[in-house]
């Protein structure tokens, strides 16, 4: 069935309540084939059916429809950036970027002494950094933080910052938009220019 709705979320909700398909059918007053057809996206349910299912799942019908509208899984390939956004950007060749609208996941592989300063990739985001291996020195404005394997840090991504690799290694940075509505649109599959999963 081709639809803008994905009712496989019912399986997650049902399992949280320790319900089988038969149990959900019984609790909702619907037949097993009806419940199974909705949960596996074989049919588009009526509002009456959705209301019965939502009640049995202990959520509102509106919330069930909202969850079914969201694309729960999106997949992107991280790629090397092809161009620099600012003249001051350095080390972009060390970065592989997966874009999710204004959110980004960036894997950096760097040799000792490599310098990464790519403010052109930043928008109004929170930035997380997780060091996978090696040592990196992170400068944020006038402060310096030395980070080793499994160290993490969170900061405002708009602050001028740069990474200098002290020991060959890898780290991941995650850019999370400050405007939560951007994430909601992304989960709903309405992100501008986002390729299909």
Which residue ranges of the chain lie beneath pLDDT 70?
1-3, 70-73, 83-86, 180-197
Residue with tokens 């999106």: 74
Instruction: Identify the pLDDT of residue 188.
Output: 58
Cα 108 to Cα 170: distance, rounded to the nearest angstrom: 6
Q: What is the per-residue pLDDT for 1?
A: 55
The pLDDT assigned to 102 comes to 75
Quick one: pLDDT at residue 59? 92
Distance CA 137, CA 129 (A): 11
**What is the model's pLDDT at position 194?**
43
| Structural domains for the chain | 9-69 (1.10.260.40), 79-180 (2.60.120.10)
pTM of the model: 0.61
CA 58, CA 70: separation in Å to the nearest integer? 19
Per-residue model confidence (pLDDT) at position 108: 95
């Amino acid at each position: 069935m081709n639809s803008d709705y994905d009712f496989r979320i019912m399986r997650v909700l049902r399992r949280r309540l320790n319900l089988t398909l038969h149990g959900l059918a019984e609790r909702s007053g619907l037949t097993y084939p009806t419940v199974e057809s909705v949960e596996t996206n074989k049919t588009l349910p009526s509002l009456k059916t959705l209301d019965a299912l939502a009640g049995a799942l202990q959520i509102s019908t509106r919330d069930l429809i909202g969850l079914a509208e969201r694309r729960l899984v999106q997949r992107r390939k991280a790629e090397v950036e092809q161009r620099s956004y600012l003249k001051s950007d350095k080390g972009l060749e060390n970065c592989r970027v997966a874009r999710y609208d204004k959110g980004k996941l960036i894997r950096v592989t760097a040799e000792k002494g490599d310098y990464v300063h790519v403010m052109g990739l930043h928008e109004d985001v929170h930035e997380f950094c997780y060091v996978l291996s090696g040592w990196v020195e992170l400068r944020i404005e006038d402060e310096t933080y030395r980070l080793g394997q499994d160290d993490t840090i969170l900061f405002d991504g708009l602050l001028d910052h740069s990474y200098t690799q002290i020991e060959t290694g890898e780290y991941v940075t995650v850019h999370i938009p400050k405007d939560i509505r951007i994430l909601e649109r992304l989960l709903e599959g309405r992100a501008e220019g986002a390729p299909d999963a």
